[in-house]
Amino acid sequence: MELQRNRNSVYQIGYHIVWCTKYRKQILTDQIAEDMQELLTKIAEDNNFTIESMEIMPDHIHLFVTATPNHLIASMIKALKGVSARYLFKKHPYLKKQLWGGHLWNPNYYVGTVGNISEQTIKKYIETQKKAGD
């Protein structure tokens, strides 16, 4: 992951995001998986963040996403899950019958930050700043 720059910041922000289908139903296969891949890429483009890599499993999705400091992770996930659910239910209406409550996604998700510097390195750097300034 390269350092990025904008008008007032230098950043390197990456997220590993995972979310599951409701009831872990294995519905993300064949044409639905293809539609999902195209759709998630478009949602990211429309919202000015980048999906660096993606794996669509039958019952969950893994993404590696890079973004700017202006992007809120909750807003990115809301866009990815909300828009994709509406689109898939519209294009594949039979999915609602497979998902008892009419929801495509489990409401939970996992997100982990990705970086090149460990927590221990950052803590040590911060702790030594006052000593370095003396």
CATH of the domain at 90: 3.30.70.1290
Q: Which of 11, 109, 110, 125 is catalytic?
A: 125
pLDDT above 90 for 16: yes
Q: Please name the amino acid found at residue 4.
A: Q
pLDDT at 84: 97
Range of the domain at 56: 4-133
* Bridge partners, residue 54, by sequence: 63
Instruction: Count how many domains the chain has.
Output: 1
Start-to-end Cα distance in the chain? 34
Counting DSSP H helices and E strands in the chain, the numbers are 4, 6
Distance CA 48, CA 45 (A): 5
Nearest Cα neighbor of 45 from 99, 83, 91 is 83
Q: Over the stretch 102-125, which tens digit does the pLDDT of each residue have? A: 899 999 999 999 887 777 888 888
Is pTM beyond 0.85? Reply is yes
Establish whether 109 is a catalytic residue: no
Mean pLDDT to the nearest integer, 11-28: 94
